[in-house]
């Protein structure tokens, strides 16, 4: 009767560890999920945002205010100096048309830094406004970018001028 007891004790001992091992697997899965959520890469996001800014500049130069407005999220706010915040794509399109009609023909955007995580990234940058080849204004901006329909879109866009008011 020694041998069966011996094996039963072994099995009982082994079973004692089952919850630990199962618990361990469960935790391992959780860890994997966490790792998957943190596959967000800020360097990649920054590159995508730099590309979105290039698209912005191209559409602006082409005077495509509809295309520009579509770079903004559905619930975006365009926060320019001299006006309360402008909400939604239609109103943002009008504001951008207004800027174009004032004579601004080109905007240069330079990303300085980005911070954030999956879903929302905040960008600091510098901008220059041109009439033809003439730089007429220089400024700074903060843009909150939101992932919408798989693309980073401007969600909050605030900027102002570096130049003293004339």
Residues in the site for a second copy, rule: CB under 8 A? Answer: 2, 6, 9-10, 13-14, 17, 20-21, 23-24, 27-28, 30-31, 34, 77, 79-85, 115-117, 120, 122, 124, 138, 140-142, 144, 156, 158-165
| DSSP type of residue 36 | H
Please say which residue, 35 or 132, places its beta carbon nearer to a second copy. Answer: 35
What distances in angstroms separate CA 144 from CA 97, 101, 130, 147, 162, one per listed residue? 22, 26, 24, 10, 20
| Min dist. Cβ of residue 165 to a second copy (A) | 5
- Minimum CB–partner distance for residue 156 and a second copy (Å): 6
- By beta-carbon proximity to a second copy, the closer residue of 108 and 124 is 124
Minimum CB–partner distance for residue 83 and a second copy (Å): 6
Nearer to a second copy among residue 46 and residue 64 (C-beta): 46
Q: Which of 78, 109, 108, 81 is nearest to 93 (CA)?
A: 78
CA 93 to chain centre: 21
Minimum CB distance to a second copy, residue 143 (Å): 9
- Cβ distance to a second copy smaller for residue 30 or 51: 30
Q: 131-163 burial, b for 16+ CB within 10 Å, e for fewer? A: eeeeeebebebebbbbbbeeebbbbbbebeeee
- Would you state the structure tokens that stand for residue 13, as one six-digit string? 């001992």
């Amino acid at each position: 009767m020694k041998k069966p007891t011996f094996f039963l004790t072994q099995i009982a001992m082994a079973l004692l560890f089952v919850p630990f091992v199962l618990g361990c697997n469960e935790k391992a899965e959780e860890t994997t999920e966490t790792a998957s959520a943190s596959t967000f890469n800020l360097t990649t996001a920054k590159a995508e945002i730099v590309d979105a800014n290039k698209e912005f500049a191209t559409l602006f130069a082409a005077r495509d205010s509809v295309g520009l407005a579509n770079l903004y999220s559905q619930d975006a706010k365009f926060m320019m100096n001299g006006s309360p915040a402008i909400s939604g794509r239609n109103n943002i399109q009008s504001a951008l048309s207004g800027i174009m009609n004032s004579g601004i023909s080109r905007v240069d955007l330079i990303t300085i830094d980005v911070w954030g995580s999956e879903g929302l990234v905040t960008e600091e940058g510098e901008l220059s406004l041109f009439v033809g080849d003439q730089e007429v204004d220089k400024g700074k901006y903060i843009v909150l970018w939101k992932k919408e329909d798989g693309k980073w879109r401007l969600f909050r866009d605030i900027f102002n001028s570096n130049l003293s008011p004339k």
